[in-house]
Amino acid sequence: MPDTDVFILKTLLKAQSEFVSGSSLATALGISRVGVWARLEKFRDEHFEVEAVRHRGYRLLQEPPTLNESLVRAYLALLECDADVTFCEEIDSTNSEAERMLASARKTPFAVLALRQTAGRGRLGRRWHSPNEGNMYASFAFRPNLPPIKMQTITLWMGLQVCDFVNTELGLPVKLKWPNDLMADGKKVAGMLTEARIDADRTRDLVFGIGLNVNGRCADWPKEVSAVATPLAELNGGLLLINRLAAQLTKACVQAYQAFIDGSYQNTFMELWTRYDGLFGRDIQTERNGAVLKGVASGIDENGSLRLKLEDGSMISLHSGEISLGSARHPV
Ligand code: BTN
C-alpha cells in the first residue's frame, strides 16, 4: 500500500474539510497533478466522498463506513502513533494470525486488524460472527515475560480501557459485564478474548483480541446474534468514523498494556472498575461444578475475581465462568 495514499489522506484530514490544492499535493509528493487526481479517483472507488473544485483543490466530505488501511494509517500518523499494524482483508482469526506472527518471532508490540474473519473465536469456544460490514476485529500481541500471577488482571484492565475510551472519546454510555463484555442497554457491544502462552513460570506471549460492533446493522445479523448484540452506531444514532476509532483504539490498547507492565495502572484500576461495573448490586447467577450459584454481584477482589454475595450472606470469589442476570430490571 503506497505511502502516497496515506500522505494525501493525512493532508486532507489535517485540512479539516478545507480545500487542499492538487498542485501542493503534487509538489509535496513529487508526482504530477494527474497522478494526484488518479489517487483521488481510487479513493472514490473505495467509498470516500471527495469534492474537487477547479482552482481550489480537493476536500474530504465523507469517509468509508468500513475499515480502510490507508485511512487508518493516516489517522495513526496524525495521532503520532507508530504502532506496527498489519491489515488483512480476510483472515481466519486475528488472534490466530497474531499467534502465528509471534511464533515467527515478530517484534512486539504489534496489532492485526481484519475487515472480515472466517473463523472468529469467542470465549468458551464460541464463534464470533465477523462479516465485512463496518465492525472492528483486532488483536494486539505482546511478550510480557512475567510470572502468570502478575498477569491476572490484564484482561480486566484492557477491557476497562476500551470501556473508558468508548465513554470518554466517543461519548457513548457503555458498561462492563465481568469479565469484559462491553454492554449497552442489555446488549453486547464488544467481546474480548485474551489468549496467552505460558512457558515454565513465565507468560511468554499474550494476545488481546477485541471484536467491536461499530457500524454493522442488527438487521443484517443472524437472529441469534441480533438478539444479544448491538452496534455502537445504534447507540450513537448514526455511523461512526470507524477508521479514526480503529487508530485511537490501537493507540489506547498499546498504551494500556504499557501502563499494566510498568504498574501505573494500579493508580486507577479500582476507581475505573467501580465506575464501569455494570453488574454491581445486581442479582446474578452462574454455574460451578454443575451447581447453580445465585447471589448479588459485589465488585471484584484484588485478583480480578468477581465477588458474589450468596443468599446465605457468605461471600465467594469467582475466577471464571459465564454470568447471567437473575433479575433483568435494569439491563447492563
Ligand atoms: C467473546 O465475547 O466471546 C470474545 C469475542 C472476541 C472476538 C475477537 S474478534 C478479534 C479477535 N479474533 C478472534 O478470533 N476473536 C477476537
Provide the residue count of the chain. 332
Per DSSP bridges, beta strands 175-177 and 84-91 are unpaired
Phi, then psi, of 171 in degrees rounded to 5: 70, 30
Distance CA 112, CA 270 (A): 29
Which of 183, 208, 210, 332 is the pocket-test mutation for ligand 1 (most atoms within 8 Å of CB)? 210
C-alpha cell at 149: 500471577
Distance of alpha carbon 85 from alpha carbon 116, whole angstroms:
16
Q: Phi/psi of residue 202, each to 5°?
A: -125, 140
Cell numbers describing residue 40 = 483521488
Ligand 1 binding pocket includes 121 (Cβ within 6 Å)? yes
In angstroms, what is the span from residue 56 Cα to ligand 1's centroid? Answer: 45
Tell how far the Cα of 193 is from the centroid of ligand 1, in angstroms. Answer: 5
Bridge partners (DSSP) of residue 198 are 203
Cell of 85: 499494524
Query: Hey, how many other C-beta atoms are within 10 angstroms of the C-beta on 123?
Result: 15
276-314 confidence digits (pLDDT tens): 999 999 999 998 888 899 999 999 999 999 999 998 999
* Rounded Cα distance, 46 and 12, in Å: 16
**Burial (CB count within 10 angstroms: exposed 0-12, middle 13-18, buried 19+), residue 139:** buried
Q: Which residues, 6 or more positions from 224, have their beta carbon under 8 angstroms from its beta carbon? A: none
What's the whole-number mean pLDDT along residues 7-36?
95
Q: What angle do CA 9, 90, 197 make, to 5 degrees?
A: 105
For residues 199-227, average pLDDT: 94
CB-ligand 1 contact for 193 (6 Å cutoff): yes
Q: Is the pLDDT of residue 328 over 60?
A: no
| H/E stretch holding 291 | strand 291-300
The closest alpha carbon to 304, from 216, 194, 173, 146, belongs to 194
- What is the percent of the chain where pLDDT is above 70? 98
Confidence of residue 200 (pLDDT cuts 50, 70, 90): confident
Distance CA 75, CA 173 (A): 24
State the distance from the centre of ligand 1 to the C-alpha of 139, rounded, in angstroms.
8
Q: How are beta strands 84-91 and 110-117 bridged, if at all?
A: parallel
Omega of the bond prior to 179 within 30 degrees of 0, cis?
A: yes
For the segment 158-184, the average pLDDT, to the nearest whole number, is: 97
Cβ neighbors of 94 (< 8 A, separation 6 or more) are 88, 112, 113, 114, 117, 137, 138, 139, 209
For residue range 100-118, list pLDDT tens digits in order.
999 999 999 999 999 999 9
What does the pLDDT look like over 51-82, one tens digit per residue? 999 999 999 999 999 999 999 999 999 999 99
97 touches ligand 1 (CB under 6 Å):
no
Q: Which atom of ligand 1 is nearest to the CA of 181?
A: 2
Ligand 1 centre to CA of 227 (Å) is 18
Q: Is the CB of 135 under 6 A from ligand 1?
A: no
pLDDT digits (tens, 9 = 90+) for 24-50: 999 999 999 999 999 999 999 999 999
DSSP state of 300: E
Task: Give the distance, in angstroms, between the CA of residue 61 and the centroid of all CA atoms in the same chain.
Answer: 25
For the Cβ of 191 lying below 6 angstroms from any atom of ligand 1, the answer is yes
Q: How far is the CA of 194 from the centre of ligand 1 (A)?
A: 9
